[in-house]
Structures are given as structure tokens and as C-alpha cells.
Chain A
Amino acid sequence: MAALPEELAALIPAYLGGQRWYSGAEAPDPSLVNIDELKELWVADDGTRRLWQAIVSAGPDWYQLLLGERPAGQRAEFLHGRDEAVLGAAANAYFYDATLDSEMAKVLLRVASGGGETATFARQLTAEQSNTSLVYDDRLILKVFRRLHEGRNPDVEVTTALVGAGFEHVATPLISWRDERFDLAFGQEFLAGGTEGWALAVTSLRDLYGSESRSPEEAGGDFAAEAERLGRVTAEMHLALQSVFGSAPAAEAASSWSRLLDGFGPRLEAASAVAGKSLWPDCSLLVDRFGRVREPGAYFRVHGDFHLGQVMRTDNGWRVLDFEGEPARPLHERTAPCSPLKDVSAMLRSFHYAARHVLAEHRVAEWESLLPLAAAWEAHNRRAFMDGYEDVAGIQVLLPERGSVSAVVAAYELDKALYELEYEQAHRPEWVPIPLDALDRIIYGAGSDE
């Protein structure tokens, strides 16, 4: 087995701690870090440059390191001053994150595709949490999994299955790179010219807030037609997911639903405490409303982390990305059957976030006049999304009976908003008003069935 110089192995714990995709808050205890596997993926003909792959365990987690090796003194412009990407120097060479080096990235493509794919240009996409994405010739995107899980990676598994089921609104899978234990990377068609749903929604909102028009239908950048199409695609995705993975038994769905309801009491209490005041003294209407749902509809494998940032508008309509589920949750939870309305609710929450996010670009003094616009935009696009969703043939069979849909949606919105409150409290306190606003609305709107 090839080996890295001793002194480098010692640097790995600190290096891990500096990476975006490392899940812990601080660098792992060196005693818990172990190089499980080390492979020399490539060596240049002249022997001076190498590409290494290391599978490293750090406590219960595994990580994939891709390290480039170049002779000391060779310039490293591709690092663009990103010191945290450098592991260190040893034996007259330096070692660094190979995904930043376009030569190494191209080598990686060849290796990952078993020689089937090559490219002239490679670039790394920025701002990602648990993976590194490389784009080749604006044609192919390779998602390198950094944090590894034993078994199938849900994104690879679900995307491939959806394509098999004839669902066209995903990026076509091209490369699946794995070893005996882990999915290591996933290559798909790069959606050139695509825009995240979030960016489109934000464009629409900026237009509305900046225009003289007082209604979202009349503003130029109306998003409703997109929202409607997105609703359709969401329903088609659910039909395909259900056909591939099948529904959980009704009893399992019922118990999952009641677990959700049972959790609300204590969670709301905790949320009231977080908000620092006595909130929502009476949730009985809400409990009544949820209690009236006799059966919550089919439960099956869903997207699990559905929001405007996970959908891309392309020239040929919407594409759904990233079926990994919420990365913070354990794998078995992410793949557990759930109501498709959980995805629906999550997207509706995303509309709310977008409307409020753009508000933050304006001075607080303007909020009073803009808040009704934000609410109108959200309501308008919620309606369009739901219309598109419920209009797809066959989706009704998977949903609860007609009168209960909005209650189940509200329950999952409540679930999501409570999660958001907790998250924002911990990470972005200035955003706390957004979930609080949502909670207010869900709880006080409980008496009406929209």
C-alpha cells in the first residue's frame, strides 16, 4: 500500500477541522482520527505529481480526502490564497485539496468515470456544505462526497431510480463512483443556463418591492407561472417516487403522523420559551384541526429537503436536485417513508423565506408598506404552487381526503417552522422573526381552513 509521509498524517485532524464539509464544530481529537484507506489514484509520467485519495474516519464519521501532490516550489495559483486547502509540505512536495487544481480535477474525472469521461476545462463550484462539486466543460457536474455513509448515497440512489421510472425533471446521471463501502462521487449532466429557484423568486420579489404596483399579479416579474409549473413537477416527482419505492403500510403512516402530533405540545412549549415570552397560550384549535384528520394519506420515500435552492429552472423547465435529505439527520431518518406533503410544506416555507429575505434588503422604515406585499406575493405563489400540484392526474390518490390536505400541510409547516426557529436561534438570530411569524400565522390561522 502506498503511503503518505508520516508527518502529513499528523496534520490531517487539523486540516479536517478547517474544511467546510467537516461536520464538527472544531477539529477532531487526533486520537479519534484514522486513515482507513489510502490510494494513489494517479501519478504523472515524470513522477512529480500525484493524486491521492484518503478515506479518513473521525469518530463515528467518515470523510473522503482528495490530495494533490506537487513538487515544492511549484507555483500554486489555483489555490487563490486559500490556505486552509493546504495540508502541508513533506519530502520536497506539498499536499493540498486536489479539487481546486484543474489538472487534478480532470484526472479525477477520468478516474471516477473509469476512463469514460474526459474534459478540457474544470472548475469548482463554491459554497457547499457536505460535498465538493466540480463542473467540467459546462457539460458535466461531478459531486464528490466528502462526508461518507455506508450503503447507498440517497442522492445517487433516488436520482437513478427516478430516471428509471421515467421522471425527466432531474439532471441525467452520468457517473456513479463507489467502492465496496461508500458512494464516492456522482456525476450528472450540468444544467448550463439554469438558475436556482431561489434566485428566480428573489428576482420576482425585488421587482415587486421596487415597483409601483401593489399586487403581485400585476408586477412584471410575476413568479406564479413558475410556481404553478414547480407544483406540477413536485407532484410528478412524488408519483414517480411512490411508484419506485412503494408506500409504507397504513399503520406505519398513522403512527408516524400521531408521533408528529404528539411532539407538537412540548415543542411549542420549548419554542415559547425560546421566543422569550408567553406565546400561543391556546393551541386547542390547532390540535382540534390536526385531530380531525382521519388518515394522513400515503407515506413513502420523499425528497426530504425540498426548497427553492434545490430546484433549478432550465430552458426545459424545472429540475429537482439533491435527494440527500437534510444533511444534519442520520441516514435512516432521511430515507424513512414520509408524507409527500412534507415536501410541499417545505417548499411553501421556502416561499415565505424568500419573501422575507428580500424584505431585509430594504430599510426597516419601508417594511410597513412592504409587508403586505410580501404576504400577497407569498399567498399568490402558494396558491399557484398548490393549484399546479393538485392538478396532476393521480396525485389525489396519494393525498389525504380533500378536506384534510390543508391541515396536513399546516402540520408539516408547523414542524418545519419549529425546526427553523431552533436553527435560526442557534445560527442566525437575526432571522428568528421569520419562523416566529410563520408560527403565529399557523397557530392563529388554525380555525380557518384557508
Chain B
Amino acid sequence: MVSPFFAPQPRWYQTAVFYEILVRGFYDGNGDGTGDLAGITAKLDYLQWLGVDCLWLLPFYQSPLRDGGYDISDFWTILPEYGDLADAVELVEESHKRGIRVIADLVMNHTSDQHPWFLESQSDRTNPKADWYVWNDGDAAYSDARVIFVDTEKSNWTFDSQRGQYYWHRFFSHQPDLNYDNPEVADTMIDVCRYWLDVGLDGFRLDAVPYLFEREGTNCENLAETHEYLRRLRKEVDALYPGRVLLAEANQWPEDVVEYFGKGDECHMCFHFPVMPRMFMAVRREQRYPITEILGRTPEIPDGCQWGIFLRNHDELTLEMVTDEERDYMWEEYAKDPRMKRNIGIGRRLAPLVDNDRRVAELLHALLFSFPGSPVLYYGDEIGMGDNIYLGDRDGVRTPMQWSPDRNAGFSRADFAQLYLPPLMDPVYGYQAVNVEAGVRDPSSLVHWMKRMLEVRRQHPVFGTGTFEVISVENPSVLAYMRSLPERATQEDRGPDTVLCVCNLSRLAQPAELPLQRWEGKVPIELLGRVPFPRIGELPYFVTLAPYGFYWFEIVDPPGSRQ
């Protein structure tokens, strides 16, 4: 089904703002206590008002839900609690009408152990699906592969007594890895992708891509075979579904992740993981080096590709990508309560992570929206929602979206006891204090600020595709950078798009002297208020910044000089 609602704009994802939705937690359309696809459709007007460009739905497939739906037990079916195919089609169509695209999570690497494929495969060693998973007589093979969920799993092999063999799993033992060396598996998974693209999805966020293949003597990550398979998938998408996007999740250093762009012939987008904890660290340390270091070691990406960047998501604050010393530091800072530690990370939402300091939340979003990459927001963070650390596993950041001060936070008409998780009810972050209705009514709320920022960002494609250059500032608490695009290629204006961002990472007011000689004679215009600042001269440009303050300046020719 090709959507009629978009002008051909194959690289839309380079300037898009993504909004991550937990289907079960967003809005309950049928009053059964669990969010669903129809519920998201019902709230599209809000999302359009907010100004996001693309929804990213967490897995909505049939699943025993032992891992938040990442344990899929049928790739062709929607989890009945979430709705049916018609609901999915309606969501996609209604979104497209509003200029919003929709991508969804897809787990390629493994299935649930309840998937019929696995049930069949495990029944004996000779059935037609016997070779669909990775089986072995012993548990010694691939011993160089690390165990990812160290808190719960001892080995990547688990013994299955029915078949009398071990099966391979990189994540939980109830999530056996598919055997991509089997061509039937490889073909079938392409069919799965095609099916959902035919339904109208605008792409996938591919979960856990580095682990598709296994080879002895390697760490079984990022293998050439895995890349080859991604190229095959991409070819399929380019040929049949132009304008759809593949977004890879590969929690690795940027110099390794960049391989998943291939030569522009694998994934369109990859998440940039390490920049996220470093934004928090920079604010905590009141200096820019955690950020500039990681951006400095981020390689160029091929034409037509884009990073996905985020502050928080449904998982923990990912700490795999910081050094041990830095990890200890982050733990101490943000997880003084040991319950907050989850695997190698911390399960907090943005607002509690920054002690509910609105200035810090705004600063972090200003960084997110102006760094190279497409920002991904996590549902609820735009209104400053909190978390519930007393819930098990990662549920603490998956509580119901807070729509209003009404019963069940306006999330559901079901009885309270029927809700999949209780909404937050504490005095600071509870739904009576923090909710969409209040935010939308209050012109000075965080959500209004967010909407305004997204509006400004949309007018400046430079944030998506411009170059990024750090401006040298002596004051270590100040981070300044120039984003520039030689030609902005919008309808109304084809001139260059140049934006200077200056951020104060400190809780104290700070001065900064910016060497802007190269832009001598131009005028900075503050983007949120359109106030022209003094002309840039030969001497360093002096600005003062409020605590956690930031400026976005459009750099333009002085009035009258432009013919």
C-alpha cells in the first residue's frame, strides 16, 4: 500500500524527529486496562500538535511478553490485546494523513521459545524446522561470545531436555536465536519484513542486529555474514519500498556501528549509543569534554545515512559504551539507590535523572535537537513524566502515559486493578501533577517549550544534515558548535543554513568568547525569539549564558546586504 500523503522525499528520516511509543502504555482505546493500536490512533492529534515526524512502535506482535514483546511468538500476528491488522492499517493511514510516519520494532535475531517454529524445532532432530535454530550437543562452541544479560544468564547455551541438545541464545534463555545459516530462515525473515511493509509501515527499528550469525573463534558480533544479509534486506527495500527506513540497534562504539551503514547499502540509520550517557556526564561534570570526545571519535557516515540519537528510551541508561571508570562515576551519580541499577545501566526516566530540574531537561533537549542525528523522544518525557523504581525489571519507565488528572491518568476507563501497570501517583511526578492536559493548557509548560523547539528545528534542515564543527571556547563549561548547510533546499529559501549553538553545561552563569572571525560581518539571530544580536566583528564574539542556558543563533547576512 503506497501512501498518497507524502511528496516523494526519500531522505525524510535525516531531518525527522522520532517519538518512541510503548503500545501497551500509551492509550487504552478499548478499556481493557492495556494500551493498544486504536488508542494510539485516538491520540494522533496530540502527536501532530506536538510536531513529531515519525512514530516508533515497540513490538506489537504475538508474544508471551516475557521480555516486553521482544520475545515474538508469531511474526504474522498482532498481539490481540493491542488489536488486529485492521487497527494497524488504520493507525498507519491516520498517521499518514497527519504527515506522521510509523516504524515498528522488529526482532530479527531470535524468537520466543513459544514460537511454533521453535516448538517444532525442539521436538526432535529431524523435523522440517530442526535446523531453524542453533543446536549443539555441547555448550562449548562459540565460547568467545560474551553473555549480555549477565544478571540472569550464565551461558549463551541452554540445554533442552526434549531434544537432548543445547540451543544458542544471545539474550534470555527463553529467546532462542534463529539460525541464519539456514536459507529458509533467511528467506522467511525477508518475507516477514515485506509483509509489514505491505501493511504500510514506513520501516523498522531492527533489534539486536549484530548477532544474526555465529562463527567459531569470533565474538559472534558484527560478522561479515550479518552485513551481507543486511545488504540483501536493503536491496529488497530499495527495489520494492523506496522511502522506507531501516534503523539498526547496535550498541557498540560509533566506529564499529558505522559498519551497519555499509557503503550506504545497509541500514539507513543506526543509533548512536555512547553520546547519550556522555550528555548526562557533561552536565554533571559541568564540562564539555565527555561530549566533544565522543563526537570527535564519531566517524563520517555515508551519504544518505543518519544517526539516531536519544536521551532516554525504554531500556536502561546504556552504560556499555563508557569506560569502567566512567561507568562507576555514572552509577554513583545517578543510582545511589541500588534498586536503580538494571543490568549494566540505570532504569530512570529523564526528569528524575536530572532531579526534575526543568533547566537541565531543556538544555539536554537543546543538545539532542541540535547534535548531528535525528532525535528520538521517549513517550512521556515531553511532559516530564517520572518513573517507578519499585516495579520489577524495566517496567519502572514503562508506566501509563499521563493524559489528564482523571481516573487512571486518563489512560484507561478500566478498573484501576485491571491496568497493566499502575500510573504514577507520587506528589512530584504523579498524574495529578504531571499530565498532557495540564501541559497543553499551560503556555509555559515543558511540552509547549518542546513543541516550539520542534517547530524551530523543522525550519532548519541544517540540524539534520548540516556539518558539525566545535567552536573553540576557553571556558570548559561552555560547548559551542556551528552547524552549516551550504543550501537549505526548502521551497521558500535556498540560501545557506547556518546555526550556531552555544550551551552552558554548568549550574553557574558563564561567559564565553567565541572565535567567529570566519563569520565576520554576519548577524546572529536568536532562533526562539528572532532577536538580532550584535554583528560579528574581528574580535572574539562575547556572550553570557544563564545557568544551564543555551542559544541557537541563525547566522545571517546583515539586513540590506542581501540582494
Contact = CB atoms under 8 A, between A and B. Distances in A.
Given A102-B538, A120-B518, A203-B506, A193 B470 contact: yes
Interface stretch (B302-310, B473-481, B491-499): B473-481
A194 B296 contact: no
Interface stretch (A173-181, A217-225, A367-375, A432-440): A217-225
B88 to A, nearest CB: 46
A442 interface: no
A79 to B, nearest CB: 11
Interface in A176-209: 192-196, 199-200, 203, 206-207
Interface stretch (B91-99, B108-116, B212-220, B282-290): B282-290
A80 interface: yes
Nearest to A80: B539
A203 B286 contact: yes
A363 B296 CA distance: 40
A315 to B, nearest CB: 4
Interface residues of B, number: 28
B289 A192 contact: no
A123 interface: yes
A199 B518 contact: no
A120 B519 CA distance: 12
A135 B285 CA distance: 29
B543 to A, nearest CB: 17
A203 B517 contact: no
B329 A200 contact: no
Interface in B332-375: 332-333
B150 interface: no
- Of the candidates B332, B333, B507, the one having the most CB atoms from chain A within 10 angstroms of its own CB is B507
Interface residues of A, number: 29
B286 A121 contact: no
Contacts of B467: none
B528 interface: no
Contact of B287 (A80, A137, A203, A316): A203
B405 interface: no
A222 B285 contact: yes
A313 B476 contact: yes
Contact of B515 (A123, A199, A220): A123
Interface string A339-358: 00000000000000000000
A194 B473 CA distance: 8
B68 to A, nearest CB: 33
Contacts of A324: none
Given A221-B286, A221-B287, A313-B289, A193 B472 contact: yes
B76 to A, nearest CB: 49
Contact of A315 (B284, B289, B508): B289
B48 interface: no
Nearest to A192: B472
Interface string A104-126: 00000000000000001101000
A221 B293 CA distance: 17
Nearest to A221: B286
A98 B38 CA distance: 73
A137 B516 CA distance: 10
A156 B293 CA distance: 28
A221 B285 contact: yes
B30 interface: no
B292 interface: yes
A313 B292 CA distance: 11
B151 interface: no
B325 interface: yes
Nearest to B476: A195
Contacts of B508: 206-207, 210
- Of the candidates B287, B472, B473, the one having the most CB atoms from chain A within 10 angstroms of its own CB is B287
A206 B506 CA distance: 10
B253 to A, nearest CB: 15
A124 to B, nearest CB: 10
Interface in A206-240: 206-207, 210, 218, 220-222, 225
Contacts of A444: none
A120 B292 CA distance: 25
Contacts of B287: 195, 200, 203, 221
A106 to B, nearest CB: 12
Nearest to A199: B476
Nearest to A190: B472
Contacts of B475: 195, 199
Nearest to B323: A225
B171 to A, nearest CB: 33
B55 to A, nearest CB: 35
Contacts of A123: 515, 517, 538-540
A138 interface: yes
Contacts of A313: 289, 476
Contacts of B472: 138, 192-194
A280 interface: no
Nearest to A315: B296
A193 B539 CA distance: 18
Interface string B265-294: 000000000000000000011110100110
A123 B540 CA distance: 9
A78 interface: yes
Given A121-B518, A220-B285, A196 B474 contact: yes
B514 to A, nearest CB: 11
A121 B470 CA distance: 17
B292 A203 contact: no
Contacts of B538: 77-78, 102, 123
B292 A199 contact: no
A125 to B, nearest CB: 10
Given A123-B538, A207-B506, A220-B286, 9 more contacts: A80-B539, A123-B515, A123-B517, A123-B540, A192-B470, A195-B287, A203-B477, A207-B286, A207-B508
**Which 9 residue pairs are nearest across A and B when measured between Cβ atoms?**
A195-B476, A315-B296, A192-B472, A121-B517, A220-B284, A315-B292, A221-B286, A193-B470, A315-B293
10 contacts: A123-B515, A123-B517, A123-B540, A195-B475, A199-B474, A200-B476, A207-B286, A221-B285, A315-B292, A315-B296
